[in-house]
Structure 1
Amino acid sequence: MQHRTSRRSLLTATAAVAATAATGTTANADPRSPGHDPDPDLSRQLKRLVSHMSIEEKIGQLFVMRVYGHSATAPDQVDIDANLREIGVRNAAELIATYHVGGIIYFTWAHNTRDPQQIAALSNGIQRAGLAQHTPVPLLIATDQEHGIVCRVGYPATLFPGAMALGAGGSRDDAYMVGRIAGAELGAIGIRQNYSPDADVNINPANPVIGVRSFGAESAAVARMVAAEVRGYQSSMTASTAKHFPGHGDTAVDSHTGIPVITHTREEWERIDAPSFRAAVAAGIDSVMTAHIQFPALDPSNDPATLSHPILTGILREELGYRGVVITDSLGMQGVRDKYGDDRVPVLALKAGVDQLLDPPALATAWNGVLSAVRSGEITEQRLDESILRILRLKQRRGLFQRPYVDVRQVGRTVGTRAHLATADRIAERTTTLLVNRGALLPLSRRRERNLLVAGADPASPSGTTGPPTTVLAKELTGLGFTTTVLSTGTAPAPGVIAAAVAAAAGKDAVIVGTYNIQAGDAQSRLVAALLATGTPVVQIAIRNPYDIAFLPGVGAALATYSWTDVELRAAARVIAGRAEPRGRLPVPVQRADAPTQVLYPVGHGLSY
């Protein structure tokens, strides 16, 4: 049918969707609305558009794919053969023309996010390629902009504290504002779907993949923060995504490299994991991302949740009443590849109830796997249409049919504005958590503790940083009137590095030392012990997970920032200097290192000046 239809009539169908959407009611429609269509005219127009698509175009709409480079029409400048090697195309425009993909995901490592103006131009190029197809459909461009430790769009965009930091702040107004501003900035550069917020409840301190990406360990508190951030995003033109359903917070295996197993009972799932997803659905979440985890109490087949019909259709859609888009986590992760081949995984995901298939490792294999399933009758064309209509409704709600392009010249009016940056700084101050303050060591005085050594871990920097943590922290303290010496000691300081730190502490009035996920007996704890032995007062900052203090009983003062991005380190410096009050309260408990079943600092702990 598609090839007998003129392009003029197809353009008319696309325009009709935009016109109906502009005058219809679905821009703010609740995707959970049971059993009725809030805008029959728009639905008819969308169905007409779908009817013009070939099977190949329909399959393409289901895929959200990575692509290398900062331009839609040129190869990647950093690795000119990256697209050919991994995808078999030269650039984004060729990817869209060949596979008709419905979405693109941006990554920093794929060189998509150099600066806001470049990102906006790339987005416009992608939309031009989408609307140049035989059946013209705008693309849904997405990214992971969780803030905190997971950011793809960096400076000069506004970077906010991450989820656990916001959980420490406890303000739903702040969570809403993060969603609203982040959504507006992403929308201004053409990104209309953000894979945030993380709705997992992190009750396992050893969780290697969630941790500070979660708002905390208490289900009700997490649910409140998730709902607030979702409402913030929904007030902008960028779709939000609750992840990772049915809950990734109690895992000890990273699903990037293995298959985690959740041992919760059904009753525990209802009490611990479900509330935040229920809250997201109630707030009108646009999309829900699946988890590559086994959850025997919900599905005894041992299929990962991404491929589980009982979990995605039985629980998410039927029990929770969710009617929006379901997207997989990356199909390149090992957690979803262990049991089935890359050609079968997307087919099984669709049969489970998924709509969008995210970033398969080999697009041709995945795409052809779905095509074969459709041709054999394993997946019906009607089943494809159900998902495509949900995807098109999402694109319409986020304004893509009406306004597919962004104004590159106006990006600076929204992205990284002075008002947005000031809001991020104020929010960060409300998240910094003071755990220990022996002898009222903090705040430091420029007269009493003028000369400081700033040392510690400098892990690889996320996009929300302008430099190593020690450098950023020292720069801010210097601006506040202190004299600073910087020494990066790394996450595994060797004996020689520890000796250098001890020498550098000589004559200093205090030492600020950043720690990064300390484990029992590791070198960072030996570094801190050596610094304490000098007699110089030591202020420790946990720059990722807040559990480090359990291994450092002798420090004079201890702070938790929940990340090492600039905005959180600047706030920590202002707290250290007494320019801001430490207002954060632990959103997770800290257990004793020598007795993990006993709580050292409970949820809600936090000191003030």
Structure 2
Amino acid sequence: MLAPAQSAADSRSSVEQLVSRMSLEEKVGQLFVMRVYGHSATAPDKADVDANLREIGVRNAAELIRRYHVGGIIYFAWAHNTGNPQRITGLSRGIQRAGLAQPTPVPLLISTDQEHGAVARVGRPATLMPGAMALGAGGSRTDACEAARIAGEELAAMGINQNYAPVADVNVNPANPVIGVRSFGADPCAVAGLVVAQVKGYQSAGIAATVKHFPGHGDTESDSHHALPTIRHTREQWDELDAPPFRAAVAAGVDSIMTAHIVVPSLDPSEDPATLSRPIVTGVLREQLGYEGVVVTDALDMAGVRQKYGDDRVPVLALKAGCDQLLNPPNLDLAWSAVLTAVRSGELTEQRLDQSVMRILRLKAKLGLLRDPLAARREVLGTVGAEAHLLTADRIAGRTTTLLLNEGGLLPISRRSHPRVLVTGADPASPSGTTGPPTAALARAFAELGFKATALPTGIAPTAANVEEAVTAAAGMDVVVVATYNIAADGPQRILVSRMAATGVPVITVAIRNPYDIAQLSGFGIAASLAAYGWTDVELRAAVRVMAGRTEPVGRLPVPVPHAEDPARMLYPIGFGAMYRRSGV
């Protein structure tokens, strides 16, 4: 273990000595970041043991580390790694004990995708911050940094030391099915500033930030989880649109960068996915942008990286491209053995292997893991979900909601003028730890402000029966709030909004994911429309406070909203946001 007062030179020397003591198998293991089921490193529930045996061939995290010497473990809610903060902390400590029990003791990088907003693996009672596009609407680098610092402190308290955030993709395509509100916006300069702010926030809290998805996933119309997208930007367009946030993150000293499973012919005409492309990872990221830190692949079980090569070739090609960490392969034994064989055969030199191992261990040293991975840097119960953190989240969220339409000055409403509120509409699966469907959260927020609010979720694809039930429920109401979620041009959500507007009751729509929904609602006679950019409780409470006039709608669109019929024409430009016209002001 490294002594606390060691210099950078001493640290490098100690890392080199550690590498020299490692077997080839241990070095190969350091490259892998793997999922594992269960809330305990040694005694998970039977169902989790069964899942581990079926998918990985081990019973638990300790056995995974002992057999494969993995350098990292990634937490997922669906793998039962998250939930109670104390339980998460116990799992993290158990994992680190298992790392220290190896023949060559090496602690682990424990990671998760805690982007906030639409993607949050660790839910309540942890503090859930507004997501990236909401922060983009707020436009404050100070808020973005503070949100990341608080999130980082809470993750660190639970033993999570690497966060796969922030997203650095510039979302210039409204049809993008996988990025959208996970991006800060469509302006490369604005995105770059917020990315750097969050990198500084996370890393000031003592955890590694990871910007993603290099070289930029913002202009795709397919999802790399299910397909291999192609970005048709020229090299000049890439330099102007996609590169700025990554350049800025490199200059800010970001600890790690995640690759994308996308094809960018202008950067590599071979049409290999970027994760497997030496011209992109080594040529562009390392040599042209000057990045010397850890490069982690996006998950290797995603379709985008598996379409061209077999699962035995993908990890080897990723390393040859210049990647360091190999994230969540579908078959760990196959991937681990393939890398080991590639080194033994000479396809990968041990020198190349050592380069990646050194980068990974230097990051572990920077995070203090080689000194004492079991050190409790913060008291869990006093940090995770602390009242001051929750209040800060609400304050930040209050600066993000965007008012797009306010016909006749309906908004703000009051409990005197519009006391009876029906909240209906979309009810997507909520990010981990939020309290029920978005309609319920909106209704609850209205009730807390003294309104008589009723929730009636109709789903993201309401049936005719759902619509009729909502029409009936609108009778006698003073206002109807419809939560919309990525409305399609020919989708049933448009029918719901149209029928609600036809009741004669004033209708307010709240886009709870991408802000483009309003383009599908022209001519429907809705009274007001807002963009909340997310459906976590904190984002929805902020939208209700705006509708009720408790806060001003100061959020500004971080992306343009094009006309539905003619995408070349802008309905609302970047920076748009209506304000309330109050008498006497």
Same-fold status (TM-score > 0.5):
yes
What is the deviation of 1:498?
A: 0.8
Change (3 A) 1:168 1:97: same
Mapped to 1, the partners of 2:156 and 2:379 lie a distance apart of: 12
Match of 2:566 among 565, 582, 595: 595
Compute the displacement of 1:464 (Å).
Answer: 4.6
Mark the CA change 1:93 to 1:408 in structure 2 (over 3 Å): closer, same or farther.
farther
Q: What are the equivalent positions in structure 2 for 1:144-223 lying under 5 Å apart?
A: 144-223=113-192
Match of 1:381 in 2: 350
Following the alignment from structure 2 to structure 1, what is the Cα–Cα distance between the partners of residues 331 and 175?
A: 32
**Cα 1:488/1:406, change in 2 over 3 Å:** farther
Q: What residue number does 1:544 align with?
A: 513
1:454 counterpart SS class: strand
**Is the 2:49–2:60 Cα contact (8 Å) retained in structure 1?**
no
CA displacement, residues 566-604 of structure 1 (integer Å, 9 cap, x when unaligned): 100011111111111111000001111121111000000
CA distance 1:311–1:408, shift in 2 (3 Å): closer
Shift of 1:521: 2.1
Deviation at 1:433, TM superposition (A): 0.6
User: 1-side partners of 2:87 and 2:46: how far apart?
Assistant: 13
**Cα pair 1:464 1:566 within 8 Å, conserved:** no
Q: Contact 1:252–1:260 (CA<8 Å) still a contact in 2?
A: yes
Counterpart for residue 241 of structure 1: 210
Q: Using the alignment, how far apart are the partners of 1:471 and 1:421 within structure 2?
A: 20
Q: Tell me the amino acid that sits aligned with residue 559 of structure 2.
A: V
Cα distance, 1:147 vs structure 2: 0.1
Following superposition, the deviation at residue 24 of structure 1 comes to 3.4
Contact map agreement 2:161 2:208 (CA 8 A) in 1: yes
1:39-66 C-alpha deviation (Å, 9 max, x unpaired) = 3222111111100000000000000000
Does the alignment pair 1:572 with 2:543?
yes
Q: 1:269 aligns with which of 219, 238, 255?
A: 238
- 2:289 and 2:412 mapped to 1: Cα distance? 48
Residue 253 of structure 1 and its aligned partner are, at CA, apart by 1.0
Residue 439 of structure 2 corresponds to: 470
Contact kept in structure 2, 1:76 and 1:91, CA below 8 Å = no
For 1:241, give the aligned amino acid: T
Distance apart, 1:493 and its partner CA: 1.0
Aligned equivalent of 1:427: 396
Match of 1:558 in 2: 529
Displacement of 1:242 in angstroms is 0.6
In 1, the alpha carbon distance for the partners of 2:247 and 2:330 equals: 31
Partner of 1:279: 248
The letter for the 2-side match of 1:441 is L
- Residue 146 of structure 1 aligns to a residue whose secondary structure is strand
Secondary structure of the 1:367 match is: helix
Equivalent-residue separation in structure 2 for 1:578 and 1:488 (angstroms):
24
CA distance in 2, matches of 1:43, 1:569: 47
Residues 175-574 of structure 1 mapped to structure 2, 5 A cutoff: 175-407=144-376, 410-553=379-522, 554-574=525-545
Supply the distance in 1 between the matched residues of 2:114 and 2:433 (Cα, whole angstroms).
10
Counterpart of 2:211 in 1: which secondary structure?
Answer: strand
Q: Give yes or no for the alignment of 1:586 onto 2:557.
A: yes
Q: 2:33 maps to what in 1?
A: 64
Letter in 2 for 1:150: V
CA pair 469-406 structure 1, distance change in 2 beyond 3 A: farther
Q: Which amino acid aligns with 1:502?
A: V
Partner-residue secondary structure (3-state), 1:23: coil
Compute the displacement of 1:406 (Å).
Answer: 4.7
Q: Name the residue aligned to 1:23.
A: 5
1:140 aligns with 2:132: no
* Alignment check: 8 A CA contact 1:332 1:359 kept: yes
Contact 2:430 2:437 in 1 (8 A): yes
Structure 1: distance between partners of 2:378 and 2:295: 34
Task: State the Cα distance separating 1:350 from its structure 2 match.
Answer: 0.4
> C-alpha displacement at 1:398, in angstroms?
1.0
Matching residue's letter, 1:208 = P
Q: CA deviation at 1:407?
A: 3.8
Distance 1:144 1:442, change over 3 A: same
Gaps of 5+ in 1: 1-14, 26-38
Change (3 A) 1:422 1:77: farther
Is 1:110 the equivalent of 2:70? no
SS in 2 for 1:240: strand
> Contact 2:83–2:124 at 8 Å: present in 1 too?
no
CA distance in 2, matches of 1:286, 1:144: 15
SS of corresponding position for 1:508: coil
Q: Identity of paired residues, percent?
A: 67
List per-residue Cα deviations over 1:394-413 (Å, max 9, x = no partner): 01111112231254992011
Conservation of the 8 A alpha-carbon contact between 1:60 and 1:102: yes
CA contact (8 A) 1:120 1:406 kept: no
8 Å Cα contact 1:307/1:348 also seen in 2: yes
RMSD over aligned CA atoms reads: 1.0
Aligned mates of 2:519, 2:137 — CA distance in 1: 18
Instruction: Determine the C-alpha separation between the residues in 1 that align with 2:47 and 2:493.
Output: 36
Structure 2 counterpart SS, 1:467: coil
Aligned partners of 1:206 and 1:545: how far apart in 2? 10
Shift of 1:484: 1.1
Structure 1 residues 422-469: Cα deviation after superposition (integer angstroms, max 9, x where no partner): 000000010011100111111111111001111111011111511110
Alignment partner of 2:59 out of 90, 93, 99: 90
Question: What CA distance in whole angstroms lies between the structure 1 residues aligned with 2:243 and 2:265?
Answer: 15
Number of aligned residue pairs? 578
Number of the residue aligned with 1:123: 92
Mapped to 2, the partners of 1:416 and 1:291 lie a distance apart of 32
Measured in 2, the distance between the counterparts of 1:408 and 1:319 equals 37
Asked if 1 retains the 8 angstrom alpha-carbon contact of 2:438 and 2:536, the reply is yes
Using the TM superposition, name which of 508-517 and 491-500 deviates more.
Answer: 491-500
8 A Cα contact 1:172 1:228, kept in partner:
yes
| Alpha-carbon separation, structure 2, partners of 1:419 and 1:413 | 10
Judged with a 3 Å threshold, the aligned counterparts in structure 2 of structure 1 residues 48 and 80 are, in CA distance, closer, same or farther, namely closer
Structure 1 residues 137-189: Cα deviation after superposition (integer angstroms, max 9, x where no partner): 10000000000000000000000011000000000000110111111110010
Note if contact 1:189-1:408 (Cα within 8 Å) is conserved in structure 2.
no
Q: C-alpha distance in 2, partners of 1:513/1:253?
A: 28
Q: Is the 8 A contact 1:188 1:406 kept in 2?
A: no
Query: Do the aligned partners of 1:117 and 1:408 also contact (CA within 8 Å) in 2?
Result: no
**Corresponding residue SS for 1:569:** helix
- Residue type matched to 1:179 in 2? A
Separation of aligned partners in 2, 1:569 and 1:169? 15
Tell me the TM-score normalized by structure 2.
0.98
Distance 1:74 1:302 in 2: 45
Alpha-carbon separation, structure 1, partners of 2:499 and 2:540: 24
Deviation at 1:551, TM superposition (A): 1.0
**CA offsets, 1:18-39, max 9 Å, x none?**
21xx2235xxxxxxxxxxxxx3
- Aligned match of 2:583: none
